[in-house]
A = this chain, B = another copy of it.
Amino acid sequence: MPVRQLVNDPADLVPEALRGFARAHPALVRHNEDPAFVVRARQEGAKVALVSGGGSGHEPLHVGFVGEGMLDAAVPGAVFASPTAYQIKAAIEAADRGQGVLLIVKNYTGDVLNFQIAAELAADDGIETRTVLVDDDLATDGQDEGGPGRRGTAAVVAVEKICGAAAERGASLDDLLALGERVTRSARTLALALASCTQPGQDRPSFDLADDEIEFGVGIHGEHGVARRPYGPVRDLVGELTRPIVKTLELGHGDSVIAIVNGLGSTHDLELAAVHGELTAILDDLGVDVARSLVGSYVTSLDMRGCSITLLRADDELVELWDAPVRTPALTW
């Protein structure tokens, strides 16, 4: 018997949800039904356009980040499946304002391939693109020599926010590529799950855990992590996520970070706030300045329980772009 979720036919969930989503934000976004993409409701003035996308099930990513100061369009695939090159190409065309299009792609084989084909199709039509490949997941660092490399996870929010701000100010396509690559290079993420997620229509989660276990180093598609570890107090779990990131980014006294504490789907605000408290305690002890924090469920894995921590080594320029105005369904300041 399928797990109870608020769906009709699971095959219709994504298109039905997109319709309901767009209807809630008519001032911000417009939803194209076929091929499916979401684009800003208002597109005025010349600027480089930002287009992202990927499988659904990670909401509010990416459709929730379409709007002033962030994305120009987002392309949702089926749950945990890449959008097609045809969809992506249509979104590129809808977003383009004649200054070129920056593609922000999380590092997954299907997404990389389809965005690449779409970029080639767009080039044939005279639209210039550049691609920022986001690969921040430290759990997959160094795995599989010659394999796909690190996965892209919650740092994509920082790439979209920071490049989005720069694009509004008239940054060129090449400048935005360099900026996006700098953010990606300066950010790492680690995640853990207390319980896995269930695909709509399925009768059980994608993996099971014993009462005293957590899954360490999970991605955002319900796949297994890199290790099974003992469950423990949030203080300990946050330490396990944070220390490897601090080490990799070589963060120390006097350094500054933008921190993202991200819920994976079913993690309560109280828990995420507690995670943020533990994270800042660790960084305070190290003398690392937490310049800005984003705490909430922004890059989800359906109804997975757990969280990710992303640290982005920050400087005045990145913080200033982070602070710039943004007005999207999921992020506004």
Contacts and interface: CB of A to CB of B under 8 A. Distances in A.
B233 A7 contact: yes
A231 interface: yes
Interface string A1-31: 1001111110001101111110110000000
A196 to B, nearest CB: 12
A296 B275 CA distance: 21
Contacts of A195: 4
Nearest to A64: B269
A210 to B, nearest CB: 9
Interface stretch (A216-224, A249-257, A301-309): A301-309
A59 interface: yes
Interface stretch (A113-121, A138-146, A167-175, A260-268): A260-268
8 contacts: A1-B211, A5-B271, A6-B275, A13-B270, A16-B273, A19-B273, A24-B273, A266-B303
Interface of A: 1, 4-9, 13-14, 16-21, 23-24, 56-57, 59-60, 64, 79, 194-195, 200, 209, 211-212, 214, 231, 233-235, 237, 261, 265-278, 280, 290, 293-295, 300, 302-303, 305-307, 327, 332-333
Given A6-B275, A16-B273, A16-B277, 20 more contacts: A4-B305, A5-B268, A5-B271, A6-B194, A6-B306, A9-B233, A13-B271, A17-B271, A20-B274, A20-B276, A21-B269, A21-B276, A24-B273, A24-B294, A57-B270, A79-B270, A200-B270, A266-B305, A269-B300, A303-B305
